[in-house]
Amino acid sequence: MEWGSESAAVSDFHRVPEIIKVSLFYVRSQRTCLRREVGGPTGKSGLALLVTVILLVASRDYLEHITSIGPRTTGSPENEIVTVRYLLEQIKRIEVQSSSVHRISVDVQRPTGSFSIDFLGGFTSYYDNITNVVVKLEPRDGAQHAVLANCHFDSVANSPGASDDAVSCSVMLEVLRVLSASSEALHHAVIFLFNGAEENVLQASHGFITQHPWASLIRAFINLEAAGVGGKELVFQTGPENPWLVQAYVSAAKHPFASVVAQEVFQSGIIPSDTDFRIYRDFGNIPGIDLAFIENGYIYHTKYDTADRILTDSIQRAAGNYMKDFFCALGITLISWFTCLVTVLILAVFVSLIGQSLSWYNHFYVSVCLYGTAAVAKIILIHTLAKKFYYVNASDRYLGEVFFDTSLCVHCVSLVALTYRGLCSAFISAVWVAFPLLTKLCVHKDFKQHGAQGRFIAFYLLGMFVPYLYASYLIWAVFEMFTPILGRSGSEIPPDVVLASILAGCTMILSSYFISFIYLAKSTKSTVLTLTSVCAVTLLLVCSGAFFPYSSHPASPKPKRVFLQHVTRTFHDLDGSVTKRDSGIWINGFDYTGMSHITPHVPEINDSIRAHCEEDAPLCGFPWYLPVHFLIRKNWYLPAPEVSPGDPAHFRLVSKEQTPWDSVKLTFEATGPSHMSFYVRTHKGSTLSQWSLGNGTPVTSKGGDYFVFYSHGLQASAWRFWIEVQVLEERPEGMVTVAIAAHYLSGEDKKSSQLDALRAKFPDWTFPSAWVCTYNLFVF
């Protein structure tokens, strides 16, 4: 297909960043079938898929219009009515302007369903009457196969969601317009899914892939996501299997940007996030590609994620003594790495204990000056001591060669281990083996000649350029992603310990082939003193509080995230009587510093109002929006008047039945706002055997309680479900405790005067996300 006309057609959209637009076509030949089996012979069977990736300028009008609507939480009129209406209007305009060789079909799907997911410790999700806008672009005579492009137009509460994920939906609208205006017919269909409930933990994609009639046509998909705001789009997940997808992407992308490291890190569960890729892979068994922005994750899911931030533009061997020296060198290297790690961890723990954690969050150079310099200084010091007191009579050149071989051996072991485990990331170790080995062979002669040291160093550095350049790129990507994450990783993980460990690991890798230079150098005293001085000065400045962690600077905000939930809690006993009722504003800080930086500005939030865990209640008796209680154990409960939403939640026991297999079946019915959380804890002598949610098998969250996330669109029916409790031993306190929390994330019910007054006291470098909720606990 000739793309000149399409490029010209969109050349006027020059104000938006270069964004990857993926269109999937089949080559113009007689190949008509795309095999769906994993590992199928897609090429040999005469089948080809051409993935055309074009960097084009997408219409900012779409983006600005969607974000101007404001936050678009599932179940809110802004999401369910205003945004849907806008999308349908634009799709209708595109249809009117489309070529007669195409056929455009539009469907608004409102699915209801549930599923279990192994995310955040595992939980079950239920949705009712949420919204999907689905567009199928196909040849006039129809098509039997299709490619899916997915984005989501909903956002988290209190964020306009420009990068996550309005910009992707804008790109998809533009792709639809360009393709539909082409005068050349497609051989197969492209389905565009604008889903309205991704932020509700992937509900809308599940509703589409498991219920929509067009889902059976899909043979491959591309998911457009965001973990940051702008920059290059990183392909961070692909498959399962089907390497032709990646091959097609690489051959067609003008600037491909992908890494198996990103895939394996993301799928390991280290990063507390997930995308619709999981749903299409697990529930649809469809191969695909996951694309996301990763730069500037500091403002991801905050009020700063606005359209204007989407920017417009990683040997002389000593005969029989060599093996002894080699293993000694290996031991010294490992000792230097171990002491390097211990040193930075001691510094990190000290900084955390004095309350100066995250001092680098707004000034990343602080982490390098504090932990990076300490790590490098300790490695140099250990090897300097070994050279001075152990290798007294050894040749400097000989020692340099031995330690080069030691580093090469370490990377070889890493390569073998990673390959044995089947990890694709083994290619990184291969780079660290191949290039240094080739360099060694090339400069070996110069290394042995006394007058050729300058030439040796020049060639050595040139040979190491590729692995060090690539390693620097990967390290940049790691810090670009993990630094913002450490600002929202909860109150239990000391971020300085994590960052110091990562910096120590990076120092070990980057220093590996330069250890030999320590033994070639005449003196390292000035280097060690300089590094130590920088570390010491930085530590003093950190201890004095010179580096404030957060920033409200408009160009680069790095806010502190705080959740404020004005809640009324009601606890009932086995007889249904109210045993406790209280109200307050439940406060959760998303990072390790807790409220230490907030208290000077809001004195009433202090340790005297620390929230206490209700030991007999699931998840400590608080209205967790998601089951992240194991990450955030420090929270505060400020007494406040009761809340009375205009649309109160209702929860009742519909029936209690004794089953033939000696279990008790409890049927419940709940009505309320668009977002609710249901919690279950079985008592001693009882177990939760099955329920009507997901695949029927209850999934526990961390800690042993059960958590169900529920949401609905507009005009949802009452949520009716059942749980089955196997009673092994009758006990007077009952068999199970259940609780339900109703979260009012939109409309007038979201607000309270006390909540507004408290939020107004927070400094501008914070991002307090506030809403009203109710919590009711029952015992059966």
**For the segment 63-74, what is each residue's pLDDT rounded down to a tens digit?**
889 999 999 999
Give the pLDDT mean for 234-241.
74
Q: Give the single-character DSSP code of 59.
A: P
Is pLDDT larger for residue 293 or for residue 366? 366
665 Cβ contact list (under 8 Å, min separation 6): 655, 656, 657, 658, 659, 722, 723, 724, 725
Q: What local confidence, expressed as pLDDT, does residue 441 receive?
A: 78
pLDDT at 39 exceeding the cut of 60: no
Q: Residue 439's pLDDT band (boundaries 50, 70, 90)?
A: confident
Q: Residue 326's pLDDT band (boundaries 50, 70, 90)?
A: confident
Cα 733 to chain centroid, rounded: 41
Cα 323 to chain centroid, rounded: 46
Here the tokens at position 80 are 């369910």
Give the pLDDT mean for 326-353.
94
The predicted-structure confidence for 355-401, as pLDDT tens digits, reads as follows: 999 999 999 999 999 999 999 999 999 999 998 888 877 777 788 88
91 Cβ contact list (under 8 Å, min separation 6): 104, 106, 133, 135, 173, 176
Q: Give the single-character DSSP code of 80.
A: I
Catalytic residue check, 198 = yes
Q: Residue 520's pLDDT band (boundaries 50, 70, 90)?
A: confident
Please give the share of the chain, as a percent, with pLDDT higher than 70: 86
Specify whether the CB–CB gap between 587 and 605 falls below 8 A: yes
Helix or strand holding residue 290 (H, E): strand 288-293
Give the pLDDT mean for 322-341.
90
The predicted-structure confidence for 558-590, as pLDDT tens digits, reads as follows: 999 999 999 999 999 999 999 999 999 999 998
CB atoms within 10 A of CB 341: 19
What does the alpha-carbon distance between residue 84 and residue 92 come to, in Å, rounded to a whole number?
12
Specify whether the CB–CB gap between 64 and 39 falls below 8 A: no
The owner of tokens 């107004």 is 760
Q: Give the single-character DSSP code of 521.
A: S
Give the pLDDT mean for 586-604.
93
Please give the share of the chain, as a percent, with pLDDT higher than 90: 55
Q: What local confidence, expressed as pLDDT, does residue 26 receive?
A: 29
586 Cβ contact list (under 8 Å, min separation 6): 563, 564, 565, 566, 567, 611, 622, 623, 635, 636, 637
Is pLDDT larger for residue 265 or for residue 655? 655
pLDDT at 49 exceeding the cut of 80: no
What does the alpha-carbon distance between residue 407 and residue 435 come to, in Å, rounded to a whole number?
13
What does the alpha-carbon distance between residue 618 and residue 678 come to, in Å, rounded to a whole number?
10
pLDDT at 55 exceeding the cut of 60: no
Specify whether the CB–CB gap between 276 and 198 falls below 8 A: yes
What does the alpha-carbon distance between residue 686 and residue 165 come to, in Å, rounded to a whole number?
43
CB atoms within 10 A of CB 399: 22
Is pLDDT larger for residue 459 or for residue 284? 284
Q: Which of 174-183, 441-450, 705-714, 771-780 has the lowest mean pLDDT?
A: 441-450
Q: Residue 251's pLDDT band (boundaries 50, 70, 90)?
A: confident
Give the pLDDT mean for 742-746.
95
pLDDT at 313 exceeding the cut of 70: no
pLDDT at 31 exceeding the cut of 80: no
What does the alpha-carbon distance between residue 263 and residue 267 come to, in Å, rounded to a whole number?
6
What does the alpha-carbon distance between residue 141 and residue 153 come to, in Å, rounded to a whole number?
31
Here the tokens at position 662 are 């000696």
What does the alpha-carbon distance between residue 400 and residue 281 come to, in Å, rounded to a whole number?
50
Highest mean pLDDT among 36-50, 237-251, 394-408: 394-408
Taking the alpha carbons at both ends of the chain, their separation in whole angstroms is: 66
Highest mean pLDDT among 30-44, 221-235, 281-295: 281-295
Which of 6, 78, 174, 198 is catalytic? The answer is 198
Q: What local confidence, expressed as pLDDT, does residue 662 receive?
A: 86
Sign (positive or negative) of CA dihedral 196, 201, 205, 207: negative
**Among the listed residues 488, 644, 460, the one whose alpha carbon sits nearest the alpha carbon of residue 567:** 644
HEC profile of 322-342: HHHHHHHHHHHHHHHHHHHHH
In angstroms, the Cα distances linking 661 to 308, 697, 725, 780 are 61, 17, 11, 19
The predicted-structure confidence for 209-236, as pLDDT tens digits, reads as follows: 999 999 999 998 989 888 777 666 777 7
Give the pLDDT mean for 319-348.
88
pLDDT at 2 exceeding the cut of 50: no
Domain architecture of the chain: domains with CATH: 43-309 (3.40.630.10), 332-544 (no CATH), 556-779 (2.60.40.1170)
230 Cβ contact list (under 8 Å, min separation 6): 17, 163, 293, 295, 296, 309, 310, 311
Q: What local confidence, expressed as pLDDT, does residue 318 receive?
A: 33
What does the alpha-carbon distance between residue 168 and residue 20 come to, in Å, rounded to a whole number?
9
Q: What local confidence, expressed as pLDDT, does residue 295 receive?
A: 75
pLDDT at 35 exceeding the cut of 60: no
Cα 745 to chain centroid, rounded: 23
pLDDT at 24 exceeding the cut of 50: no
pLDDT at 178 exceeding the cut of 90: no
Specify whether the CB–CB gap between 171 and 224 falls below 8 A: yes
Give the pLDDT mean for 4-13.
30
**Among the listed residues 242, 169, 232, 162, the one whose alpha carbon sits nearest the alpha carbon of residue 204:** 169
Q: Mean pLDDT score of the chain, rounded to an integer?
A: 84
Q: What local confidence, expressed as pLDDT, does residue 637 receive?
A: 95
Give the pLDDT mean for 91-115.
94
